[in-house]
Amino acid sequence: MVAVTKLRAADRHGEHMASLESIISVRGINKVYPGQVHALKDVDLDFPAGALTTLLGPSGCGKTTLLKIIAGLLEPNTGDVLVKGRKVTAPGPERAFVFQDFALLPWATVLRNVGFGLELRGMAETKRNEIARRYIDQVGLSGFEDKYPHELSGGMRQRVGLARALAVDADVLLLDEPFSAVDEQNRRKFQEDLLRLREIERKTFIFVTHSIEEAVYLSDRIVLLSRRPGRVSQVITPQIDRSGSPEEIRRDRAYLDTVEEIWQGLRQFVD
Amino acid sequence: MDARLEDPVAAQMAAQPGEAAHSRRQNLWWRLASIALFFGAWEIAGRVPINLAFPTFSATVAAFFEMVGDGTMLKAYGLTLQPLIVGIVLSAVIGVSTGVAMGLRKSVEWMVAPVFIVLQAAPVAAVIPMVTFVYGIGLTAKVISVCLLALPVIVLNSYKAVANVNPSLVAMCRSFLGSPWQQIVKIILPDASPVIFAGLRLGIGAGFVGIILAELLITPTGIGDLITYHRAVANYAHMYAAIASIIAFSALTLSGLQWVEENWVRPEKRGS
């Protein structure tokens, strides 16, 4: 019962965002893994077009499971995923995934890895290389086209993963803890670049993380998931002025208050 | 090129090829030194002599060139290579495709895996007389001997390679809309290739064992005949030359296979 009232409060909170057209909706998602592990319970969510929405919660709350269900990589036991109002059950061209462990082909160069999504679609080599080079440049990896993944640092590898997802020109980018295998310095730089990239690429982002600071720094909307079985416990819309420098944002009053508010919300789920 | 070198990381990476070539050269010297040491020890042991039937290295080399000169070596290899190549090609094609099918489909795994697990454990030399009994002493019997030794390790390695493919890469291929066929050709086979090639190297090595066993146990032909004949007439230098030449030939074949893997299949493993 408590959860239900919280859910309603959350809806009201995110009302002005809901007035935006939602590009992805999930309805009544339940996921039970073999062995009666109830990962997700009755999850209803809307993801507004053009916004960056973060799924945040303690480990094991099912946030990655939810993202993979949206991606079509996992099937829910019940419930639907709607993309632009159409029900989907498999991966589609309107969604692109960025993997936590990068999932790069070790035997392929940066250029081929970035163009791999296009290669699978049967695009001619010269054309896909041209597009790949553009996105390699955009993520700041020019000059590394002919390197292999093992010659790159963790941060650079994830830039390749991001460029690959951008290259297929999907409307929605799904990022599964993309910075968790990247060291702290690179992580910050990467977050800053991601904000800059959002201004160039008008895309919808759905982002999974367990870092409160990261979520607040990047997101238009933060969905807090409860501990297993994961359900939506709160939706927060940080009102942060992101026009300043990264340092200014990180010292911004609203930024710090939101981090605190989320911590208070998540506290109950920590042992 | 110049613009790249301003970046310290890029500069460091650009420096790597030279270093790699340097360490490869050093590697080669060590290898040559180790071979020289081995032949030196052989020469000394032959001169001591540790046994009347143990020739020196130099006598063996002389015997080798004598046999190359009078054509017996060439004729012997002509006879040995025929069943060996047929057997190895058959084992590679059947072995890799069976193993890959086992890795992809549980039903194939259950049907086929026990046969090869038993075969791999079996002392195949004991089975070869039985092969003669059924298939006679011709080419077929020898090809089967090669396959009996080479197939199990090729099948089991290919199977394990495919079963252990990185699931994240498979998910990546699916999420970027790869078809099941693309998943096999562009993800599973290349990702499995190092272990498949390891199986092929072991399998081809076993194939050499198979052909020599067949030539010693079924009917003396080719290199097996050279070994048996020169042992019978106490031409030990010639016998050793035949043995050493087939060992060297086998080693060269396996290095050639490694070269193919590094240059055509997994270029990122070159020099590492």
Same domain, yes or no: A119 and A140: yes
pTM: 0.81
Tell me: the pLDDT tens digits for B210-250?
999 999 888 888 999 999 999 999 999 999 999 999 999 99
Which residues, in sequence order, are CB contacts of B120 under 8 Å at separation 6+?
A: B152, B153, B156
Selected residues 79-138 of chain A with any CB under 8 Å from a CB in chain B:
91-93, 95-97, 99, 101, 103, 105-107, 116-117, 119-121
Same domain, yes or no: A127 and A74: no
Across the A:B interface, residue pairs with CB atoms under 8 Å apart total 62
Which residues, in sequence order, are CB contacts of A54 under 8 Å at separation 6+?
A: A206, A207, A208, A209, A214, A215, A218, A219, A221, A222, A223
Select from A169, A189, A207 the last residue of a domain. Answer: A169
B91 min Cα distance to partner chain A (Å): 26
Same domain, yes or no: A201 and A250: yes
State the angle between helix axes of B57-69 and B236-260 in degrees (0 to 180), rounded to the nearest 10.
Answer: 80
Tell me: the pLDDT tens digits for B60-82?
999 999 999 999 999 999 999 99
- Which residues of chain B lie closer than 8 angstroms to A99, CB-CB? 168, 171-172
Q: Domain-by-domain residue ranges, chain B?
A: 1-54, 57-269
Quote the CA–CA distance of A240 and A261 in Å, as a whole number. Answer: 14
How many domains does chain A fold into? 2
Select from A150, A169, A188 the last residue of a domain. Answer: A169
- Which residues of chain A lie closer than 8 angstroms to B178, CB-CB? 120
CB contact under 8 A, A143 and B186: no
Same domain, yes or no: A184 and A228: yes
Same domain, yes or no: A65 and A189: yes
Test the A interface: residue of B175, B184, B261 with most A CBs within 10 Å: B175
Test the B interface: residue of A120, A121, A156 with most B CBs within 10 Å: A120
Same domain, yes or no: A152 and A197: no
CB contact under 8 A, B172 and A103: yes
Among A197, A185, A222, CA closest to A207: A222
Select from A121, A137, A169 the last residue of a domain. Answer: A169
Same domain, yes or no: A86 and A194: yes
Test the A interface: residue of B176, B185, B187, B272 with most A CBs within 10 Å: B176
CB contact under 8 A, B187 and A93: no
Same domain, yes or no: A188 and A260: yes
Domain that holds residue A149: 106-169
Share of chain B above pLDDT 90, in %: 65
CATH class name, domain B57-269: mainly alpha
pLDDT digit string (tens) for chain B, length 272 residues: 333 333 444 444 444 556 667 777 888 899 899 999 999 999 998 888 788 888 999 999 999 999 999 999 999 999 999 999 999 999 999 999 999 999 999 899 999 999 998 888 888 888 888 888 888 888 899 999 999 999 999 999 999 999 999 999 999 999 999 999 999 999 999 999 999 999 999 999 999 999 999 998 888 889 999 999 999 999 999 999 999 999 999 999 999 998 888 888 887 776 54
Q: Phi, psi at residue A209, to the nearest 5°? A: -155, 160
